[in-house]
Amino acid sequence: MSHEFRTPLTIIKSSTQMFQKFGNKLNIEEKEFYYNRIIKTVDYLNDLIENSLFIGKSENNDIALNKNPINLNNFIKNIVTDFVNSFDKNRTVEILMDKDITFESDERLLYLIINNLLTNAHKYSPKDKKILIECFNEDNNILLKFIDEGIGISKEEIDKIFEHFYRGSNTNNIVGTGLGLAVVKESISKLNGKIWVESEINKGSTFFVQLPIQ
Amino acid sequence: MKPKILIVDDEFEIRENLVKIFELSNYTVYSAKDGLEALHYARIYLPDIILTDIMMPNMDGLELLSNIQQDLDLLGIPVLLLTARADQHAIKKSLKLGAEVILTKPFDIDELLSNVEIRLDKKRKREKHLKSKIEILQSNLSRSLPHEVRTPLNAVLGYSDFLKNNFTKLNNDEILDMLSEINKGGKRLQRILDNFLYYANLEHILNTPSEKIKESENIVFGANKYILDITLMKLYEDDRIDDLNAHLEDVDLKISEKYLSKLIEEIIDNAIKFSKPKTPIVLKGIKKQEYYHLQITDYGIGFTKDQIEMVDAYIQFNRKFNEQQGIGLGIAIVKDIVNIFDGKYYIESEEEKFTTINILLKYNS
């Protein structure tokens, strides 16, 4: 675990010390570059801490469920709108869903599930490819699908991707804490739901989430 | 010339930061994303130092280190390890494999730079020392070897020329005399060349710690008898057995048989060459603390103080006055053998009076 924290800390420390020691030798572009690197890494470290704390709490049964009626149509639309506005205005995210799905759930956990899966679909697929979110009401269950046309997951690795800190061998230059899917899985299990994946390398992945209505 | 550093880390941002830091510190920087790539670059660019992460895909830092230690071209390159994990097992293993130092992430730039600089400085000093040793050897070789070889070679060429041109005018006895001189010259040449190769090999052992350790494990049991046998054999060849006066305490010496015999042969050989027949050659051996003190004394031409100081590889002196050959090489061989077995060596001498070669070797108590 310490390894996962030391890596971003090393990036932050070496970047800041570079300013301290060689500040006068760096040009403006270089300074800009390292400032951004520091900010990005601090954000990453923050995600890492949040995710770790969440998993820790969840594994200790320290998360109290707070269920309220939620209109899933509005809920998903809001997340997608926020996401597109803050990350990539040109990204097409299509939503296909039954009308007026309202059910009792924990808003915070539901947000973690949807936001993480949407973020993954975005991170692991080319910018010009569309992301499709489907949502249906089936036999007293909500079935959510997150469909991307991205890098996919190999058959050998598909069972490991929910493990803590596991990252697919084809995710090399894509930033990730290796905890996002673990957070999703924990959240779904708190809501008594299920998650599974279908994927093909270089074609894309579909994450299925099933949540009971009662 | 800028020092060359190879940086190995699978984390892109860390690798890139390290590259920048060392570029700004005036290094020529190469970088690799794993051990496999690093090994490839190391063989191409021969960096002065390698800085590597431990945990990496394809080939990790420890495997890289062990590959470097097995490659004679890369063996001398200091390797510094960076790790994000205080894994005691990995640390122990890497030190065993010959890593210079292990730094923990997040590292401090100043500490990192000074660690690299210290290792580079050590490497530079080692290389400078080696270079100067090679230069001395080269200059001694080029200065002395032709002299060593020339005298016997001249004898062979001179006598054989004379024989060829005057063959019909010479009687059988004269021809036989000349042939034996040619034969003697040939033998001298052979001995010089043998000793030359022998000396080169000793120098190699002295400069290779593992070889030195291997040799130092030998013991000659009953070494006093062995020394006496070799001495008698040498004296017999020159008809000087009667000149020997020997007193050797019983001892088992920490040396290998082949080197002990070479050591005695060379010293006795010199004693014979530098003293006249019918003068005594004294052999004495006593245990003194952890050493067996062997003294070989001849009552011949002796050395001056200056000459004793000059005794070193291939440096001969008084050539104009003495016909004897090979003393420089002989003494150099003796010194090297004594050094391989962690012994001591010194000469006591007075001109025109005596020479005592003192050899102190460790014994098995």
User: Mind listing the pLDDT tens digit for each residue in A132-149?
Assistant: 999 998 888 999 999 999
Could you report the per-residue pLDDT of A82-109, keeping only the tens digit for each?
A: 988 888 888 899 999 888 888 899 999 9
- CB-closest option in A12, A18, A37 to B21: A18
| pLDDT(A170) > 90 | no
Domain boundary among A14, A43, A59: A59
- Yes or no: say if B68 and B39 are a contact pair by the CB < 8 Å rule: yes
- Asked whether the predicted pLDDT for residue A49 surpasses 70, the reply is yes
**pLDDT (0 to 100) of residue B189:** 87
Residue B319 has pLDDT above 60, yes or no: no
Cβ-defined contact of B107 to A10 (cutoff 8 Å): yes
Percent of chain B exceeding pLDDT 90 equals 54
**What pLDDT was estimated at residue A117?**
95
Predicted pLDDT at B239 = 92
Q: What is the CATH number of domain B217-362?
A: 3.30.565.10
Mean pLDDT computed over every residue of chain B: 87
**B363 DSSP 8-state letter:** B
pLDDT of residue B309: 64
Please check whether residues A14 and A51 belong to one and the same domain: yes
The residue among A168 and B358 whose pLDDT is bigger is B358
More confident residue, B80 or B209: B80
Give one DSSP letter per residue of B294-362, joined into a string.
EEEEE-SS---HHHHHH--TT----TTT-----HHHHHHHHHHHHHHTT-EEEEEEETTTEEEEEEEEE
The C-alpha of B48 sits at a distance from chain A's nearest C-alpha, in angstroms, of 23
Residues from chain B contacting residue A18 (CB–CB below 8 Å): 17, 20-21, 24, 109
> Percentage of residues in chain B with pLDDT exceeding 70?
90
In this structure, the answer to whether residues A31 and A95 fall within a common structural domain is no
Minimal C-alpha gap between B8 and chain A (Å) = 14
Read off the pLDDT band of B137 (50, 70, 90): low
Pick from B13, B18, B82, B114 the residue to mutate for testing the A interface (most A CBs within 10 Å). B13
Give the pLDDT band (50/70/90) at residue B109.
very high
- Which residues of chain A neighbour B107 with C-beta distances below 8 Å? 10, 13-14
Work out the mean pLDDT of chain A and round it to a whole number: 90
In this prediction, residue B313 carries a pLDDT of: 43
Q: Which residues of B344-362 are buried (b: 16+ CB within 10 A; e: fewer)?
A: ebebebeeeebbbbbbbbb
pLDDT at B327 over 80: no
Distance from CA of A4 to the nearest CA of B (A): 8
Residue with the bigger pLDDT between A149 and B152: it is A149
Same domain, A14 and A84: no
Q: A96 with A192, same domain?
A: yes
Asked if A19 and A117 sit in the same domain, the reply is no
Q: Which residues of A136-147 are buried (b: 16+ CB within 10 A; e: fewer)?
A: ebeeebbbbbbb
Q: What is the pLDDT of residue A122?
A: 93
Query: Torsion-angle region of residue A100: left (phi > 0), alpha (psi -120 to 50) or beta?
Result: left
- Within 10 Å of residue B53's Cβ, how many Cβ atoms? 27
pLDDT of residue B27: 97
Q: Does B84 touch chain A (CB under 8 A)?
A: yes
Looking at domain B4-107, what is its CATH homologous superfamily? Response regulator (3.40.50.2300)
Average pLDDT for A33-60: 90
- In a mutational test of the A interface, the residue from B9, B17, B110, B111 whose CB has the highest number of chain A CBs within 10 Å is B17
When pLDDT is averaged across residues B141-156 and rounded to a whole number, the result is 74
Distances (CA, A) of B51 to A17, B18, B120, B124: 18, 9, 12, 17
Among the residue ranges B39-48, B155-164, B198-207, B251-260, the one predicted with the least confidence is B198-207
Say which residue the tokens 């009626």 belong to: A69
What digits encode the pLDDT tens for the residues B213-246? Answer: 888 888 999 999 999 999 999 999 899 999 999 9
Which chain A positions have a beta carbon within 8 Å of B17's beta carbon?
11, 14-15, 18, 37
Q: Mean pLDDT highest for which of A100-104, B147-151, B260-264?
A: B260-264
* Domain assignment of residue A163, given as a range: 67-212
Q: Please report the pLDDT score of residue B140 as a whole number.
A: 60
Of the candidates B14, B85, B104, the beta carbon closest to that of A11 is on B14
Residue B314 has pLDDT above 60, yes or no: no
Amino acid B65: pLDDT: 93
Q: Are residues A9 and A113 in the same domain?
A: no
Query: How many CB pairs lie under 8 A apart between chains A and B?
Result: 59
Look up residue A208 and give its DSSP letter.
Answer: E
- State the average pLDDT over residues A182-202: 93
Distance from CA of A37 to the nearest CA of B (A): 8
pLDDT at B311: 63
Average pLDDT over residues B59-80: 91
**What are the tens digits of pLDDT across the range B292-310?**
999 999 999 888 776 776 6
Asked if A204 and A170 sit in the same domain, the reply is yes
The CATH number given to B132-207 is 1.10.287.130
Nearest to B24 among A7, A12, A25 (CB): A25
**CB spacing of B108 vs A11 below 8 angstroms:** no
Question: Given this model, what pLDDT does residue B16 score?
Answer: 95
Contact B85 A173 (CB under 8 A): no
Output the six-digit token pair for B322.
Answer: 């003495």
Kindly provide the ipTM of the predicted complex, given to two decimals.
Answer: 0.71
Residues A81 and A43 in one domain: no
Strands B244-248, B79-83: pairing kind: unpaired
Q: Is B130 on the interface with A (CB under 8 A)?
A: no
| Same domain? A46 vs A96 | no
CB within 8 Å: B106 and A18: no
Domain holding A166: CATH number? 3.30.565.10
For chain B, the domains span: 4-107, 132-207, 217-362
**Residue ranges in B207-219 assigned as alpha helix (H):** 209-215
Minimum distance, in Å, between the CA of residue A128 and any CA atom of chain B: 25
Select from A40, A59, A78 the last residue of a domain. A59
pLDDT digits (tens, 9 = 90+) for B164-192: 999 888 899 999 999 999 998 898 888 88
B251 pLDDT more than 90: yes
Give the mean pLDDT of A191-201: 94
Confidence tier at B147 by pLDDT (50, 70, 90):
low
- Does A7 contact B55 at a Cβ distance shorter than 8 Å? no
